[in-house]
Amino acid sequence: EQIEVQRLLNDLLPIVEQHAEQRQVKLHASVQGNTWIQGDSSRLKQVFMNLLTNAINYSGDEGEVTLEFQESENHVTIKISDNGVGIPEEEISRIFERFYRVDKARSRNSGGTGLGLAIVKHIVEAHEGTIHVESEVDVGTAFYVELPKKFTEN
Ligand code: ATP
Ligand code: MG
């Protein structure tokens, strides 16, 4: 299936905005252009919903979440960042494991299972993409999802 990335991301915004509003988190989204990738749109929506939901849930008071889109010649990069609790350096390598949650007490009130990021990573890799994280405790977290562009033959 050929997917226009910006459209896929913008389609998610109404529901994400609603969630952000409930949590009193400010959402900034700047996604413009029309770039095509190849993949499964419902699975990719799941990826970005998971990451945006995490960003909203784990951003603190005066929370701000930003969705950005960048592209290079061969790839698109979707960046989802927040100014929340952050992830300790020694835990970063484990957050993609199934059922792994940093500091249970801290994430208790968000009521998740710890499966989200394991699924995200699995889907991204099935699309020949990569995901990486930059985070600092009490400063915030940024997830980068890089996916190959689709080159049309005509
Ligand atoms: P769910 O299965 O409902 O998504 P979850 O959010 O706890 O549950 P994951 O999405 O897999 O599980 O995330 C794993 C852990 O990584 C979280 O419990 C949280 O501790 C940490 N984490 C994920 N995203 C962020 C973020 N943006 N900021 C800080 N910590 C995060
Ligand atoms: Mg989650």
- Decide if 50 contacts 42 (C-beta within 8 A): no
Which residue out of 107, 109, 121 has the highest number of ligand 1 atoms within 8 Å of its CB and is therefore the one to mutate? 107
Indicate whether residue 6 lines ligand 1 (CB < 6 A).
no
The DSSP H or E segment spanning 104 is helix 104-107
State how far the Cα of 3 lies from the Cα of 68, in Å rounded to an integer.
17
Which residue has a Cα nearest atom 5 of ligand 1? 114
* CA of residue 132 to ligand 1 center, whole Å: 14
Q: Is the pTM of this model over 0.90?
A: yes
Helices 41-57 and 116-126: crossing angle, nearest 10°?
140
Q: List b or e across 93-119, with b for residues whose CB sees 16 or more CB atoms inside 10 angstroms.
A: eebbeeeebbeeeebeeeebeeebbbe
Ligand closest to 112 (CA) is: 1
Indicate whether residue 56 lines ligand 1 (CB < 6 A).
no
The residues whose Cβ lies within 5 A of ligand 2, an ion, are 54, 112, 116
Reported as a single tens digit per residue, the pLDDT across 46-76 is 999 999 999 999 998 899 999 999 999 999 9
State how far the Cα of 8 lies from the Cα of 1, in Å rounded to an integer.
12
* CA of residue 55 to ligand 1 center, whole Å: 8
Reported as a single tens digit per residue, the pLDDT across 114-124 is 789 999 999 99
State how far the Cα of 103 lies from the Cα of 30, in Å rounded to an integer.
32
Interface pTM (ipTM) of the complex?
0.98
* CA of residue 117 to ligand 2 center, whole Å: 6
